[in-house]
Amino acid sequence: MLLLQTLRDEKDRVLTGLAKRQVADAEATIDRIIALDDRRKATQTSNDEKLAERNTISRQVGELMKAGKREEGAALRDRVNEIKEGIAAGEAELNQIKEELEEALLTLPNVPHPLVPAGVTEDDNEVFRPFAGELPVLPDTAKPHWELAEEYKIFDLELGVKTTGAGFPVFTGQGARLARGLVNFFLDRNTAAGYTEFQPPLLVNEATARATGQLPDKEGQMYHCTQDDFYLIPTAEVPLTNLYRDVILDPEELPIKLTGYTPCFRREAGSYGAHVRGLNRVHQFDKVEVVQLAHPEKSYEILDEMVAHIGGLLDELGLPFRILRLCGGDLGFTSAMTFDFEVWSAAQKRWLEVSSVSCFETFQSNRLKLRYRGENGNELAHTLNGSALALPRIIAALLENNQTDEGITLPEVLHSYLGMTKLEKKQ
């Protein structure tokens, strides 16, 4: 959530940034927010004055009663009751204004970093780091991963439909082993890089989902358990970042590095075609996440560090990848800057997104009330997160790019995790 003082003091910068996102009526929304805040201050001042007047008159009533001037005291007591009614009405008005103000603030997305390119759709994203080598070329007989999955018994989409519905794959046999091995590989590399591993809950309450920005923006994409008012997490970022909600840190504690593996649940609207077949788009998938809480002066240096770390994971897996810097129109609601990693699918002949790495600056920490002790009092920390990595499209690319007549070869780095060097066809 954007800071009110930022909207007041840096309105032109905010409008310039929101223009990159094509935010409709941004100026009108900001003006309304400032007007509501002015009303809030005026109402608060009026209430404070009434409280002071009530306290003064109450003391006078006491003094009159002690002096035996009961009629005068009773008259002033009636005035105290009138003031109390005014205070109650003022508090109700103040609560209404605060509610309207927060709801208006929640409609504004984060302001993009100046280096974020302007643009409307994913076609306007900047290729920040292209793949430097030669893309793998497969023979015409090469198959997409959903066909390989049937031959090698990697996962079964129909079993998922039977037990749940479309978009819930069931990994079996060596496919389940591959998924488990990848999770362990990612977690081991993350903890070796200084991240502390957590195993967070998969269900969160509304306050948690709101604090990291999933609510109200992504409410339609989240699975909601209405009876208990819990939400299934769309990413481990949500519970991991919220571990530090309402926390004040010492600056020496920063940066704080967290990682965790969770299943993720997303009610993304599906569509038809090869680009969403197989594991290209699913409603439940496994992902290992990295999160950092950082000093504002270090956050973009840390973003570069996280990008390098995730790139190293893909290098170890031998997957050709490129890095995009997202344009304003494709940027997530809470992000100030995002880099997307895409791996090359040789069988599908297209790039598949496997990770997003983002810096949110103070947008999440303002909602979280996540602060550190600064020289001039408590200040908001910066938050960052990234996928390290999401499994479905990693598995898709591994299957497609490494298929041979003798089986699907596995990257050497996974041999010790899986106890095998290749996947074999199953009858």
Q: How far apart are the first and last CA of the chain?
A: 54
Per the CB < 8 A criterion, the answer to whether 313 and 186 are in contact is yes
Q: Which pair of tokens denotes residue 33? A: 């927010």
Query: Is 170 one of the annotated binding-site residues?
Result: no
Query: Is 365 one of the annotated binding-site residues?
Result: no
Query: Is 289 one of the annotated binding-site residues?
Result: yes
Q: Is the peptide bond before 320 cis (omega within 30 degrees of 0)?
A: no
Query: Is 285 one of the annotated binding-site residues?
Result: yes
Angle at 40 between CA 214 and CA 209, to 5 degrees: 10
Query: Is 267 one of the annotated binding-site residues?
Result: yes
Q: Which pair of tokens denotes residue 29? A: 């929304």
Please state, in angstroms and rounded to a whole number, the distance separating the CA atoms of residues 49 and 87: 9
Report CA Rg, the chain: 28
**DSSP-derived 3-state class of residue 420:** coil
**Number of neighbouring beta carbons within 10 Å of residue 24:** 8
Please state, in angstroms and rounded to a whole number, the distance separating the CA atoms of residues 226 and 232: 11
Closest CA to 211 of 250, 237, 248, 249: 237
Which one-letter amino acid corresponds to residue 93? E
Q: How would you classify the pairing of strands 382-390 and 377-380?
A: unpaired
Strand order in the sheet with 371-374: 248-249, 371-374, 377-380
Per the CB < 8 A criterion, the answer to whether 305 and 290 are in contact is no
Between the CA of residue 328 and those of 21, 88, 287, 308, 337, what are the distances in Å?
A: 4, 45, 25, 23, 9
Query: Is 409 one of the annotated binding-site residues?
Result: no
Q: Is the peptide bond before 389 cis (omega within 30 degrees of 0)?
A: yes
Q: Where is 73: in which H helix or E strand?
A: helix 70-106
Please state, in angstroms and rounded to a whole number, the distance separating the CA atoms of residues 142 and 403: 7
Closest CA to 61 of 52, 49, 71: 71
**DSSP-derived 3-state class of residue 361:** strand
Which one-letter amino acid corresponds to residue 18? L
Query: Is 282 one of the annotated binding-site residues?
Result: yes
Query: Is 355 one of the annotated binding-site residues?
Result: yes
Query: Is 353 one of the annotated binding-site residues?
Result: yes
Query: Is 401 one of the annotated binding-site residues?
Result: no
**3-state per-residue secondary structure call for 255-285:** CEEEEEEEEEECCCCCCCCHHHCCCCCCCEE
Binding-site residue numbers are 235, 266-268, 282-285, 289, 353-356, 385
Binding-site residue numbers for ATP are 266-268, 282-285, 353-356
Binding-site residue numbers for L-serine are 235, 266, 289, 385
